[in-house]
Structure 1
Amino acid sequence: MGWLWDDSLDRPGPEQADTERVADQLSAFRDALYGRPARRPETPLVATWRHLVQRLAARTSPTWQARHAAHWEECYAGFQQEARNNRAGRIPTLEEYLPLRRGASGMDICLDWEEAAGRYELPLNIHASKDLLALRQDCVDVVGMTNDLFSARREWADGNTDNIVHVLSAHNDCPWDEAVRGAENIINAMVERHIETEQRLLASDLYQSLSTAEQADVRRFTDAMKSWMRGSYDWHLTCPRYR
């Protein structure tokens, strides 16, 4: 569903991106997210999304739902900024790219769904902890940049400018192969930092103060982040979309 939704917003193509049309399309998804009545007949994709949101709401707390909605708002903002950049042929700086890609990738949403699918929610003090927030951010960045590495040439040909390879090549004034190596180095450093941060979290007083069941949920969540990073890489290696 995510790929269908992403690709639907790129029509008729990134270079011809109509920012008003993108905003209008996103409003239908936003209405479904907040349970508002449809303003027009819904497409099958929007109707499916509305049904999914209802199912998620039935198994999650209001706090989870608020966090989930905030991550969708970051995603919507990312898509609108991507449309503006693509239409203008503008490559963002690294400082602009990072929050943009984090939002548009939708990975924080996928991590929310880990809790919903598993029918558990981490304690609020864990969600707010510096280490868990750092783990989430590194996971989101690794998955997003991995996708960028595999899709860089295709996206450039299509007029999509929001890619780590494009960003490094343009702003470091270097050839693509050097930009690719630079992106790989960034990803490797993030993975190493992720491992260290996870070890620090699991050794912390905060983690030790949790119940046995809560500790198990934290480990489920950290394992899910590692699965996403490794699974994303493996999937890109075999997916026909990136061959």
Structure 2
Amino acid sequence: MASRFYPDATGADLDLGVDLMSWFFAFDDLFDGPSGTDPAGAQALVCSTMEVLRRPARRSAVPVVRAFSDLWRRSGEGMSSSWRHRAAGHWRAYLQGYVTEAVHRHRDVMLTVEEHLRLRRETIGVLPTVDLAERIGRFEVPGPIHASSWAAEMLAIAAEVDTIHNDLCSAEKEEARGGIHNLLVILERAGTPHPRRGRGGDAPDDPFPYGAVPRARTPAARCTHGRSSGPAPRRPPLPDLRRQPGTRSVARIVRVRVID
């Protein structure tokens, strides 16, 4: 995973990328247990971790906090104070999101699609991952560029794509344990059929009910000597689902938010 995020990294820089990805999984797994439904416990762990952004962790700190302290120290090597300030802000937002999610689980709060995506932009870990790309690449994005609206939009899209991919892969796990922070779980509770099952648990008659037709099955893909065997099918116009709270499917969210 680290080699995909940082394809040019080698040696100690690649080790740093691998350690970051490993830490993400280790920290996230802690909230699969009691801390995930205990806001006070989540807050205590998050506060201990956030403290590292101000000073190194104590030797008595729990292993995941000491590991984060090491990550933060290595991440800041050679970086400016403005980069460290920005990166620390991203980390605080990421960490505080775990407390917010613990409150939701404790109170059984079900978010809307938009609320879920807004929260996951902070907690999916994209912003710290992108920040580390600067450290590993030995450069810094100028402040005015990073603060621009188009840069913010690109980061938001990256976070949403990562969220959608993560939620698709973890849907069955979240359903099995009664999880609520998952896009498919939210859509199902809102009455939208599961893209793989249709309503009532039955497989839908249309194998591609949400318009996601594999390219190999479209007429334009079945070519002979470089010519299409027929015209490509016309797609119906897409509705502006971004303004509709009852979004009908994950596939349509992807088409509106990413493809368009």
TM-score, length-scaled by structure 1: 0.71
Amino acid at match of 2:40: E
Partners of 1:71 and 1:103 within 8 A in 2: yes
Map of 2:102 onto structure 1: 83
CA-atom RMSD in angstroms: 2.1
Map of 2:15 onto structure 1: none
- What does 1:25-104 align with in structure 2 at a 5 Å threshold? 25-35=45-55, 38=58, 41-104=60-123
- What does 1:168-179 align with in structure 2 at a 5 Å threshold? 168-171=187-190, 173-177=191-195
SS in 1 for 2:165: helix
Structure number, greater radius of gyration: 2
Runs of 4 or more above 4 Å deviation = 178-181
Aligned identity (percent) is 28
- What does 1:134-149 align with in structure 2 at a 5 Å threshold? 134-149=153-168
Partners of 1:72 and 1:109 within 8 A in 2: yes
> What are the ranges of 5 or more consecutive residues in structure 1 without an aligned counterpart?
194-243
Report the CA distance between 1:133 and its aligned residue. 0.9
1:159 corresponds, among 155, 178, 183, to 178
Residues in 1 aligned to 2:131 and 2:67: alpha-carbon distance in whole angstroms: 18
Partners of 1:86 and 1:159 within 8 A in 2: no
Q: Deviations over 1:138-176 (max 9, x none)?
A: 0011001110011112112222201111222223x2222
The structure, 1 or 2, with the larger RCO (C-alpha pairs under 8 Å, 6+ apart) is: 1
Map of 2:215 onto structure 1: none
The more displaced of 21-30 and 79-88 is 79-88
Report the CA distance between 1:192 and its aligned residue. 2.4
Map of 2:13 onto structure 1: none
Partners of 2:90 and 2:127 within 8 A in 1: yes
Residues in 1 aligned to 2:86 and 2:179: alpha-carbon distance in whole angstroms: 29
Residues in 2 aligned to 1:55 and 1:185: alpha-carbon distance in whole angstroms: 41
Amino acid at match of 1:41: S
Map of 1:3 onto structure 2: 25
Report the CA distance between 1:188 and its aligned residue. 3.5
Residues in 2 aligned to 1:160 and 1:119: alpha-carbon distance in whole angstroms: 39
Report the CA distance between 1:50 and its aligned residue. 0.6
Report the CA distance between 1:185 and its aligned residue. 2.4
Residues in 1 aligned to 2:157 and 2:47: alpha-carbon distance in whole angstroms: 29
Partners of 1:13 and 1:159 within 8 A in 2: no
Partners of 1:76 and 1:104 within 8 A in 2: yes
Map of 1:19 onto structure 2: 39
User: Does 2:140 match 1:121?
Assistant: yes
Report the CA distance between 1:128 and its aligned residue. 1.4
> What are the ranges of 5 or more consecutive residues in structure 2 without an aligned counterpart?
1-22, 200-208, 211-248
Which structure carries more helix by proportion?
Answer: 1
Partners of 1:149 and 1:165 within 8 A in 2: yes
Q: Deviations over 1:202-238 (max 9, x none)?
A: xxxxxxxxxxxxxxxxxxxxxxxxxxxxxxxxxxxxx
Report the CA distance between 1:37 and its aligned residue. 5.5
